[in-house]
Amino acid sequence: MNRRDLEKHLRENGCARHRQGGKHEIWINPATGRKSPVPRHTTVKRSIVTERLPQARDPGPDRLLTRAFRLTRMRGACASSPPHLLPYRLGKLKRPGDPGRSGNGRRPHRTRAGRRWGAMRRFRRLFAITGLCGWAALAAVLGATPRSAASPPAQPMRDLVRADRPTLDALYAGGSVGAIPTGFLPGRAIPDPGSRTTAARSRLTHAVWQGKIFHGDGTGHNKVFGVKAVPVRVYHGESWRDGGPAVIVDYEGTSRLFGNVRDEFREVSPGLYLGLTWVRKPNGPELATMFTLQDRGPARR
């Protein structure tokens, strides 16, 4: 059906365009107050616009099956219009015996491809419903399972990266110093804590620096671009932040490029370390950035 003919028929029967929707135009019948959407397509499908009635309101000698006008899925949007005018005016009405229809006025049976497509749609609908039910059952089971109070957080390093500066300062001040860890400890840099770009800059830095390697003999290395590089000395010493004890990672005397850099870290939770990176300046040490390390245990190194 042509959209112009459809709008002309609506206006002739007292309907008016109410407003513009996202994908449809909203039409209204002032006499009944009913509203309904109309597609913006140039050609509107007859299955959307029209609906078959059992028989004509004004039965003639041949008792034609007429179509009552309706807008998309709502009946009676233009209830004042006679239902038998639209088919005659637009030439869309056919007799029960006309070509393209069966003897009872219905459409012919669908082809094999049409039946196959209908079966596929039903299968997809059933598959979607089954998947939703499965997800709902899984969520109910996971929600009912109690979590252990002693279990560590899922991603502690990520939590530290997204924390603000006062939170990190409080964690570092309350941290403890134990034995120097051994093996590879993956790490993340925390540049400018609490800013909007901290997480993104930390991910970019992780592509270059992946953590630290401690050998257990007072030495260690950094893992840069996936390989062991930049040797360091590791020992217990005095923190440049508050004068308390900390594990010191010193680059002086081991690296020509980073000889003025010194790291220190403390354990803020089991297996999780928070550190500070200092740069030696003529006026005294200056805090450059913060970082975090995580000891995943011997089984996961």
- Cα R_g (the chain), whole angstroms: 38
Q: So what's the pLDDT on residue 120?
A: 77
Would you state the pLDDT for residue 142? 66
Residue 188, pLDDT score? 94
Compute how many other C-beta atoms are within 10 angstroms of the C-beta atom of residue 160.
24
Ranges of each domain in the chain: 3-90, 156-300
List Cβ neighbours of 126 (8 Å cut-off, separation of 6 or more): none
Q: What is the pTM of this model?
A: 0.49
Asked whether 201 and 194 are in contact (CB, 8 A), the reply is no
pLDDT tens for the chain, 301 residues: list them.
677 887 887 888 788 888 887 777 888 888 877 887 877 777 776 655 554 333 333 333 333 333 334 443 334 444 444 444 444 344 444 444 444 444 444 555 556 666 666 777 777 778 788 877 877 777 776 665 454 444 444 458 888 999 999 999 999 999 999 899 999 999 999 999 989 999 999 999 999 999 999 999 999 999 999 999 999 999 999 999 999 999 999 999 998 889 999 999 999 999 999 999 999 999 999 999 999 999 877 644 4
pLDDT 10s digits, 25-56: 888 888 877 887 877 777 776 655 554 333 33
3-state secondary structure of 230: strand
